[in-house]
């Protein structure tokens, strides 16, 4: 491979196949943030005013940092706890009927022994 092949500029199809550099996203626009957090315009700017979100400016564009969105979610949202479910009505009737059938099964063998005598 010659040096001219190594350093040549991509042409034709090679130019179209080049992909943009992977850049980590650092923030969301206010509209994207409102959609992600399911909140309105006023609520977003109230939270910005209270310091719950951090914002940066890129020229005229405002970005809410992803770090501050995640930080607020961790601080505000708590883990849900649940009580164990009550047994369903059908399950209770089946359990009751199975208990009765066990009692009947226990009675029948003794009746069969007495009948055999």
Model pLDDT, residue 13: 60
The strand order across the sheet containing 55-58 reads 27-28, 61-65, 55-58
Q: For residue 39, give its domain range.
A: 22-78
Q: Hey, what's the torsion of the CAs at 112, 115, 116, 117, to 10 degrees?
A: 130
Task: Write the pLDDT tens digit of every residue in 57-113.
Answer: 989 999 999 999 999 999 988 888 988 888 776 666 677 766 666 555 555 555 555
**26 in a structural domain:** yes
pTM: 0.51
- Output the CA angle 22-23-28, nearest 5 degrees: 135
Shared domain for 28 and 74, answered yes or no, is: yes
Q: 8 lies in a domain?
A: no
Q: Are 48 and 73 in a shared domain?
A: yes
**pLDDT (tens digit per residue) in 7-55:** 566 566 655 556 666 777 899 999 999 999 999 999 999 999 999 999 9
């Amino acid at each position: 491979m010659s040096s001219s092949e190594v350093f040549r500029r991509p042409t034709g199809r090679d130019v179209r196949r080049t992909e943009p550099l992977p850049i980590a996203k650092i923030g969301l626009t206010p509209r994207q943030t409102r959609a992600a957090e399911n909140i309105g315009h006023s609520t977003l700017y109230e939270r910005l005013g209270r310091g719950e979100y951090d914002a940066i400016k890129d020229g005229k564009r405002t970005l809410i940092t992803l770090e501050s969105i995640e930080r607020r979610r961790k601080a505000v949202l708590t883990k849900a706890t649940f009580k164990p479910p009550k047994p369903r009505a059908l399950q209770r009737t089946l359990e009751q009927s199975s208990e009765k059938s066990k009692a009947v099964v226990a009675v029948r063998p003794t009746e069969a022994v007495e009948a055999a005598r």
